[in-house]
Structure 1
Amino acid sequence: MIETVVSAPAVAAVAVHAAERVAGVRVQPGLAGLVSSVVRVARQQIKGLQPAPVEGVRVRWTGSVALLEVDVTISGLDQAAAVAAAVQRSVRAVVPELTGVEVESVVVTVVDVEW
């Protein structure tokens, strides 16, 4: 039997893609994500790698199931709760489809509103 392992950065990159499919949404790291983002990008640049965008998404695991936290900036023309719900639906649908990883939860935080 062959076992496939999907890394947290791969899941995060797919989650960024899924979240940004929602109109008026841009994934943006909150304060906690900025520090880890700087360290990760520096490591990858040293290795000569082109990093996929994962800033603004954190992945935790409970066994093989992912718990995702997504930080977004939304348009000021949209209702925050409705946009956050749309981001949750998109991430819950796309991550398993593209990675095979089961998603237990998606917590969306609106970190900014653009006017």
Structure 2
Amino acid sequence: MTQVTEFVVEPAVLAAVAARAALAVPGVLRLEPGMRGLVSTWVRTGRQRFGGTDPAIADGVRVRNHADGRITVEVDVVLCTERPAAAAGIAVQREIARVLAEHTGQRVAAVTVSILDIEVGP
């Protein structure tokens, strides 16, 4: 008899992994929740604190699970002027998709990057 084991990775964990991946991309200064993410960040942080765990660093990242098992990721970033915005955005998309697939086994349908601001380098 073959036994099948299924692993479920919570969206908060996926968001934290995606946040770290985005922050590792040259040109990304920080993540920001933006208007859409403020409420979800507040709710997620409240649930984690209520559950007795420290909130994961995932401000500015939202993960959505789909019925077919794939996920979509939305990330809000602030970039510095050292790298063209389009190149940095594409690098963030690729790095998040790569890291999520490599570290969690999740199939990524799409990564949407919103550039909220561009500031003079560090």
Pairwise TM-score range, normalised by the shorter structure: over 0.9
Q: Which among 79, 88, 109 is matched to residue 93 of structure 2?
A: 88
What is the rounded CA distance, in whole Å, between the counterparts of 1:7 and 1:40 in structure 2?
12
What is the rounded CA distance, in whole Å, between the counterparts of 1:52 and 1:29 in structure 2?
14
What's the C-alpha RMSD, in Å, of the aligned pairs? 1.2
**Structure 2 contact 12–44 (Cα < 8 Å) conserved:** no
Q: Identity of counterpart residues, as a percentage?
A: 44
Deviation at residue 24 of structure 1 after TM alignment: 2.2
2:34 equivalent in structure 1: 30
2:60 equivalent in structure 1: 56
Instruction: Tell me the TM-score normalized by structure 1.
Output: 0.93
What is the rounded CA distance, in whole Å, between the counterparts of 2:7 and 2:70 in structure 1?
14
Gaps of 5+ in 1: none
1:12 equivalent in structure 2: 15
Which is higher, the Rg of structure 1 or of structure 2? 2
**Residue deviations 1:10-52, cap 9 Å, x none?**
1111100111110121221111101111122123223321111
1:99 equivalent in structure 2: 104
Alignment of 1:72 with 2:70, yes or no, is: no
Gaps of 5+ in 2: none
